[in-house]
Amino acid sequence: MTSTSIDTARYGSLLARLVPAVIETEDENERLLSEVEALNAKGNRISPEEEELLKLMVLLIEDYESRKYKLRAADPNEVLRELMRVRGTRQADLVCVFGSKGITSEVVRGKRGISKAHARALSEFFHVPSGIFL
């Protein structure tokens, strides 16, 4: 931010009205999201001061959401079960991939891991990258 491109008094007034700070609650996050939407709705009619405030609010929102909504790595067996659920695949449909009902059952229940060979076969069966099963 350069002091020549924005009116510091107007920017200060915007800051005083919105009081942007590190977001700690979902209500605060929703409040700033609403403000971002309102500024985005202005399109190219946004002032330089509003643009600076918008950048600040987006950073605060991204920080909060990265802390709040951390994604954990999915277990390969969980990935398999989710693919089965979404695609309506039954355990019996995978016997051709694993070679036996027993191995299929153990893998689907999470009692047995997915081998590299099975990952490749599942990749072909579901048309997805094999790395998601490793």
User: What is the chain's pLDDT, residue by residue, as a tens digit (134 residues)?
Assistant: 444 589 999 999 999 999 999 999 999 999 999 999 999 999 889 999 999 999 999 999 999 998 898 777 789 999 999 999 999 999 999 999 999 999 999 999 999 999 999 999 999 999 999 999 98
Q: How far apart are CA 54 and CA 35, in angstroms?
A: 8
Q: How confident is the model at residue 7, as a pLDDT?
A: 95
Q: How confident is the model at residue 41, as a pLDDT?
A: 92
Q: How far apart are CA 13 and CA 7, in angstroms?
A: 10
Q: How confident is the model at residue 1, as a pLDDT?
A: 46
Q: How far apart are CA 49 and CA 4, in angstroms?
A: 11
Q: How far apart are CA 70 and CA 60, in angstroms?
A: 16
